Amino acid sequence: MSGEATSGSREPPGPQSSPRSLPDFIEKKLEACEAETFSPRKNGKPLVLGNRAPGPGSVILQSNDYLNISKHPEITRAQIELLENAGRELVMSAVFLHEGSDKSLFEKSMADFTGFQSSILCQSGWAANVGLMQVIADEKTPVYIDFFTHMSLWEGIKASGATPYAFRHNDPGHLERLVRENGSGVVLVDSLYSTTGDIAPLTDIIDVAERYGCASVVDESHSLGTHGLHGSGLVSELGLTHRVHFITASLAKAFAGRAGIIISSSRFARYYPYLAFPAIFSSALLPHEIAGLRATLKVIREGDDRRAQLHEKARFLREGFEQLGYNIVSDSQIIAIESGLESDTEVFRDALEERDVFGSVFLTPATPKNRSLMRFSLHSGLSWEELEYVLKVCGEIRDEVGMWEWKSTKRGGAKKLA
């Protein structure tokens, strides 16, 4: 027997020297990704990565922690206290949690914060959107979705089996024509678009949804915490609280956590956990994460100064870019510069990186083909010197990156002065 492995006593195998090959149909997908994502680039890396990571002294305009609170001591302390002092954390699906759990207390405070009856804490913004759509739509439901709405809502439509009808970006007239032709259904929009930073004409869109008896879903991932009274969001700011059926949000943006939320009526929240697959078949957040979110909500409510700083700095940068001739469609802390062709975006990214300025490259499938862009996302803690430096750099590199020839520049009508 010596040297022979017997069942129950087998050593785990070491690292594979030649792993078993994958079937052809998978290999083909990997090869296509290599050809489309890695090979076309000079450095052999995906366009989003650039040549190096930012270091000390870099100007980093990449974070969604808009209020600059991820290292806030009250939030960290709340999580540590719970980890050190609470009993055993149960690792399970949220359907087993009773009334009065930390989760339900947080859900109540998020409902109060936004002026709704209830809310449902989810594992991520993605889970919130997919779960909600799976519950409220089915094969017979027409779903009207703004063309630029976040991918998680598109995936939610797939999960529900419903038919999507995409309307032109921020065009309530086109939405109305589609609803008239196809009947009442669900209307999906983002309040503030994550790639371009522009804000939806929410009042007009909700007018259409109401007129035709549609359910409305507004994804507030990029406006909850940053907009509205004490950060309560755009739906609240625009007085639409009693007219919108559902708000969803990622809590990985201004809330700087790792969660999502659906904000709804209490009647809906009662049934959701027993209908939505992400709620039934995926485990709940851990108590220390919820303790962190509770502390975060307090910091956000008290964060009027941070919000004012954020909006002031965003306005400064938007106006500066416009004066330089860049075509900016943003109304917010997300500012996109559309360099268009991927090859042009590569040149733009490198010119910024060489000067230690880091934004995030967005390209297809996050944007339409050949409309790739550099997204700058701001936070309230950026210094004025950093913002002035970004404008100086973007002014200097306009010729080098071919900015005057970009389609977006021509659409914006800016011309280089001789």
Ligand X SMILES: Cc1ncc(COP(=O)(O)O)c(C=O)c1O
* Contact footprint for ligand X (CB under 6 A): 124-126, 129, 150, 152, 190, 194, 219, 221-222, 250, 252, 260
Nearer to ligand X, 215 or 324 (CB): 215
66 neighbors 309 (Cβ within 8 angstroms):
no
Beta-bridge mates of residue 33: none
Nearer to ligand X, 252 or 391 (CB): 252
Task: Write down the least CB distance from residue 93 to ligand X, Å.
Answer: 18
Q: Which is it for the CA torsion 371, 337, 348, 352, positive or negative?
A: negative
H-helix or E-strand containing 25?
A: helix 24-33
Q: At what angle do helices 172-182 and 202-211 cross, to 10 degrees?
A: 20
Nearer to ligand X, 190 or 198 (CB): 190
Task: Write down the least CB distance from residue 251 to ligand X, Å.
Answer: 7
| Cα(43)–Cα(349) distance, integer angstroms | 12
63 neighbors 361 (Cβ within 8 angstroms):
no
| Cα(32)–Cα(218) distance, integer angstroms | 35
Task: Write down the least CB distance from residue 267 to ligand X, Å.
Answer: 24
66 neighbors 310 (Cβ within 8 angstroms):
yes
Phi, psi dihedrals of residue 215, rounded to the nearest 5°: -80, 145
Nearer to ligand X, 219 or 338 (CB): 219
DSSP track, 289-322: HHHHHHHHHHHHHT-HHHHHHHHHHHHHHHHHHH
| Cα(249)–Cα(245) distance, integer angstroms | 14
Nearer to ligand X, 141 or 194 (CB): 194
Task: Write down the least CB distance from residue 150 to ligand X, Å.
Answer: 4
Nearer to ligand X, 124 or 264 (CB): 124
Residue nearest ligand X by beta-carbon distance: 125
393 neighbors 408 (Cβ within 8 angstroms):
no
Task: Write down the least CB distance from residue 258 to ligand X, Å.
Answer: 7
Task: Write down the least CB distance from residue 257 to ligand X, Å.
Answer: 9
| Residue 169 burial class via C-beta count within 10 angstroms: exposed 0-12, middle 13-18, buried 19 and up | middle
Task: Write down the least CB distance from residue 149 to ligand X, Å.
Answer: 8
Nearer to ligand X, 216 or 250 (CB): 250
